[in-house]
Chain A
């Protein structure tokens, strides 16, 4: 127990980095996912093909493999960025594929008539998507999106094996330093993740209630 209390600042610093990974990767993945979803429902075949290929590649590749490719591979391409940035890039690209599919499922749930009505009053495809379809689609997509955000928090733990000192890496380190304090450290770290996930789930259910529409 002492090991846990004594090292609380260190553990919190680890969780701060976990949150930074989550925040940065979550934002990029969501934005990229929305663009990809737009591409996958676009009337232009090339855009659809690009979107589909992206999802197929990044959704079907294990995250660890992507980490190896980006962390070990980027320097050989002459790209020298920090390990944190590499982890953000990897997590974003991977998660964007899932975000895209969740948003696309939301788009598909919006009745065809909505798009037809928008087109008939002269909206372009982009305007229809932005002003009519996406605002409705996001509401339906909130539960799956929340699951993806939660998965992202936990997936960020893989960065511990690739040079980022986030929460799991901190746990590993402290366990080696204080092997007798395995359980307090383990439970303490797990609790940190549980708190983050609970907060996310809470936000999601709030949003769901607030944005709920009767169709």
Chain B
């Protein structure tokens, strides 16, 4: 039952995507510019990756619109994926040279530290404590926390109505903490957002909370049952995770993101992914200085 619904949801999205792709004859993901003549000072991480022609990037596989892998496909799709391809292209690496590794919220730091992945683009909110053990370049995107509720829910008018309600989010995410502290909701942790959405649909929890961008992806999958509600009440700057201390790499990442914003590739990446879920196009953020 439980898996059935999920698979059906995934299938529906898959079918929708296939239709869209046919409609625009080719799709948005494929045509990334790969620099043939990319060269970097010897000894830098960028030179190493450029030499190898390969890179391992940690992304989410379960967040529609951001990082989502359809069952039966090899490559994930979403905004994080597009930005990752832009970066790889700047490094002179073909999209085929990217190894996509699934990361979940709890294993991003160890994956970077152990070298399981080279970079992390996985709705990875920048915060000071994380920055003491891993590097976080960017932000390349800023969203904010909202609520996903049943379409026919009448109890929700403003964010304050969430008081005392059962609100689901992923174990270890900062979203659960903020909703408890700010609105006095009862936090319910689960292993993934899709599990939370299942609990919401079965009526076991009243709402799901996390970054608005993620919720819109789920709402778009199931517009008859779910909707996103409320004002954004936090600021979530998404950063690019890398091994702590590599300042040159950080400067390269920030420069690449800045360039993509300036030449419109950032906006195109957004329009092709999150933009499809009716999210108003946001103002691109300015990157923090590298430490």
From B129, B174, B189, B198, contact of A180 by CB (8 A): B129
Residues of A with C-beta under 8 A to B157: none
Q: Are A80 and B204 in contact (CB under 8 A)?
A: yes
Q: Are B203 and A75 in contact (CB under 8 A)?
A: yes
Q: Are A165 and B204 in contact (CB under 8 A)?
A: no
Shortest distance between the CB of A21 and any CB in chain B (Å)? 15
The CA of A176 and the CA of B124, in the complex, are separated in Å by 12
From A71, A173, A177, A179, contact of B189 by CB (8 A): A173
Q: Are A179 and B129 in contact (CB under 8 A)?
A: yes
Tell me if A123 counts as interface (CB < 8 A to partner B).
Answer: no
Interface size on A, residues (CB 8 A): 22
Tell me if B217 counts as interface (CB < 8 A to partner A).
Answer: no
Q: Which of A142-185 contact B (CB under 8 A)?
A: 160-163, 165, 169, 172-173, 175-180
- Chain A minimum-CB-distance residue to B109: A179
Q: Are A175 and B106 in contact (CB under 8 A)?
A: yes
Tell me if A73 counts as interface (CB < 8 A to partner B).
Answer: yes
Convert B198-210 into 0s and 1s, putting 1 for each residue whose CB lies closer than 8 angstroms to a CB of A.
1100111100000
Which of B8-16, B42-50, B165-173 is found at the contact surface with chain A? B165-173
The CA of A66 and the CA of B37, in the complex, are separated in Å by 57
Tell me if A46 counts as interface (CB < 8 A to partner B).
Answer: no
From A68, A83, A172, contact of B188 by CB (8 A): A83
The CA of A72 and the CA of B173, in the complex, are separated in Å by 22
Q: Which of B107-134 contact A (CB under 8 A)?
A: 109, 129-130, 132-133
Residues of B with C-beta under 8 A to A178: 129
Tell me if B176 counts as interface (CB < 8 A to partner A).
Answer: yes
Q: Are B133 and A161 in contact (CB under 8 A)?
A: no
Q: Are A162 and B171 in contact (CB under 8 A)?
A: no
Residues of B with C-beta under 8 A to A160: 171, 189
Q: Which of B143-159 contact A (CB under 8 A)?
A: none
Q: Are B198 and A173 in contact (CB under 8 A)?
A: no
Tell me if B105 counts as interface (CB < 8 A to partner A).
Answer: yes
Residues of B with C-beta under 8 A to A176: 105-106, 171-174
- Chain A minimum-CB-distance residue to B188: A163
Residues of B with C-beta under 8 A to A80: 203-204
Residues of B with C-beta under 8 A to A75: 202-204
- Chain B minimum-CB-distance residue to A176: B172
The contact size tier of chain B is 20 to 34
Shortest distance between the CB of A9 and any CB in chain B (Å)? 14
Q: Are B202 and A72 in contact (CB under 8 A)?
A: yes
The CA of A160 and the CA of B109, in the complex, are separated in Å by 21
Q: Are B106 and A177 in contact (CB under 8 A)?
A: no
Q: Which of A43-88 contact B (CB under 8 A)?
A: 68, 71-73, 75-76, 80, 83
Q: Are B189 and A165 in contact (CB under 8 A)?
A: yes
The CA of A80 and the CA of B199, in the complex, are separated in Å by 11
Question: Given contacts A72-B198, A177-B174, is CB(A172)–CB(B106) below 8 Å?
Answer: yes
The CA of A175 and the CA of B198, in the complex, are separated in Å by 26
- Chain B minimum-CB-distance residue to A69: B2
Q: Are A163 and B132 in contact (CB under 8 A)?
A: no
From B129, B133, B174, B190, contact of A162 by CB (8 A): B190
Residues of A with C-beta under 8 A to B188: 83, 163
Other A-B pairs beyond A80-B204, A163-B189, A173-B172, 18, CB < 8 Å: A72-B198, A73-B1, A75-B204, A76-B202, A160-B189, A163-B199, A163-B204, A165-B189, A172-B171, A172-B189, A173-B171, A176-B171, A176-B172, A179-B109, A179-B129, A179-B130, A179-B133, A180-B133
Q: Can you offer 20 A-B residue contacts whose CB atoms are under 8 A?
A: A68-B2, A71-B204, A72-B2, A73-B1, A76-B1, A160-B189, A161-B171, A163-B190, A172-B106, A172-B171, A172-B172, A173-B171, A173-B176, A173-B189, A175-B172, A176-B106, A176-B172, A176-B173, A177-B129, A177-B174
